[in-house]
């Protein structure tokens, strides 16, 4: 009923019966749920609740396919002990992402998995070094970000206490991460969110917001991190002038019209460094 009240503007199929809470292998809630909506309009309204608060927690809202929900219903929340599983089941368990994950931002470029393990020496990392995923940019270089899978909620709480603690000469930001993002990072071979242009695949298809007034030294990663307060871009492309230097303008490509509009609504004329940034989006253009 609390979830129903949170989505009071949406029509949920079956009301409370249309809400499925995900459970871990011990039968305990993971903090995630699937909700079946009556229409696309209801889904759009629900997505507008992204990062709104329920009690003391902000809630992340993503669109998903019904087939994914059905798969989770069939395979999740049975509370079976690992000892009762077949060898194949145990392999599947190792392939799954932990439900307790954090994201690190601002890592030294030369940081290794051993450095991250030392940083989280008070935490139990799922699978040891295998539970650490340092993301790369499109050129195969360290992006400064990493995901870490932890064993328990207590370990995640301990990890979050390390927010803005130093690793070498840099302070590290630590955030709670969605396991789906960790899974995408792991499946992608450790590559990051694709914020730079990869000439082999060309420009990402999507909805483009033009950014003007950028600091000339801003990187694509810094711009993407700034935009992520409203929505995560598929790609950021810094425009160059005739001399090959940054022009102070960039294009940010988003997966949906809704994300592009949210960026304009929330980030237009907000500061990045010492400059305010104009965010322009022409609905007709896309």
Bridge-based pairing of strands 100-105 and 57-59 is unpaired
- Residue 182 has a pLDDT of 82
Angle (CA) 185 102 116, round 5°: 90
Class of domain 97-187: alpha beta
Map out the domains of the chain as residue ranges. 2-93, 97-187, 207-285
- Identify the bridge partners of residue 252 per DSSP, sorted by sequence position: 209, 236
- Cα separation, 77 vs 196, whole angstroms: 39
> What's the predicted TM-score (pTM) here?
0.41
Whose tokens are 């809400």? That residue is 19
Are 126 and 150 contacting, i.e. CB atoms less than 8 angstroms apart? yes
Go through the chain and tell me how many residues it has.
Answer: 286
- Residue 87 has a pLDDT of 41
- On the question of a common fold for 2-93 and 207-285, the answer reads yes
- Cα separation, 180 vs 260, whole angstroms: 22
CATH architecture of structural domain 2-93: 2-Layer Sandwich (3.30)
Low-confidence ranges of the chain (pLDDT < 70): 75-95, 138-139, 187-205, 283-286
- Residue 139 has a pLDDT of 64
Class of domain 207-285: alpha beta
Q: Distances in Å between the alpha carbon of 87 and those of 93, 94, 189, 216?
A: 10, 11, 25, 55
- Residue 95 has a pLDDT of 60
């Amino acid at each position: 009923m609390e979830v129903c009240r949170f989505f009071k503007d949406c029509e949920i199929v079956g009301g409370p019966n249309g809400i499925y809470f995900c459970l871990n292998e011990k039968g305990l809630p993971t903090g995630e749920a699937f909700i079946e909506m009556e229409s696309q309009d209801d889904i759009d309204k629900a997505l507008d609740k992204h990062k709104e608060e329920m009690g003391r927690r902000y809630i992340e809202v993503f669109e998903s396919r019904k087939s994914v929900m059905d798969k989770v219903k069939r395979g999740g929340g049975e509370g079976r002990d690992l000892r009762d599983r077949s060898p194949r089941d145990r392999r599947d368990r190792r392939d799954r992402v932990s439900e307790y994950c954090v994201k690190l931002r601002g890592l030294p470029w030369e940081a290794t998995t051993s450095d991250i393990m030392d940083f989280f020496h008070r935490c139990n990392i799922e699978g040891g070094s295998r539970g650490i995923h340092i993301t790369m940019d499109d050129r195969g270089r360290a992006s400064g970000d990493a995901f870490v899978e932890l064993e328990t909620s207590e370990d995640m709480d301990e990890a979050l206490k390390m927010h803005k603690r130093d690793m070498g000469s840099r302070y590290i930001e630590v955030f709670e991460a969605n396991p789906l993002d960790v899974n995408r990072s792991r499946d992608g071979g450790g590559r990051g969110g694709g914020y730079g242009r990869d000439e082999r695949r060309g420009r990402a298809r999507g909805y483009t917001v033009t950014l003007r007034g950028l600091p000339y030294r801003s990187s694509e990663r810094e711009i993407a991190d700034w935009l992520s307060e409203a929505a995560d871009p598929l790609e950021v492309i810094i425009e160059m002038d005739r001399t090959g230097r940054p022009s102070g303008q960039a294009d940010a490509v988003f997966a949906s019209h809704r994300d592009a509009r949210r960026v304009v609504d929330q980030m237009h004329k907000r500061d990045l460094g010492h400059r305010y940034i104009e965010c322009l989006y022409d609905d007709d253009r896309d």
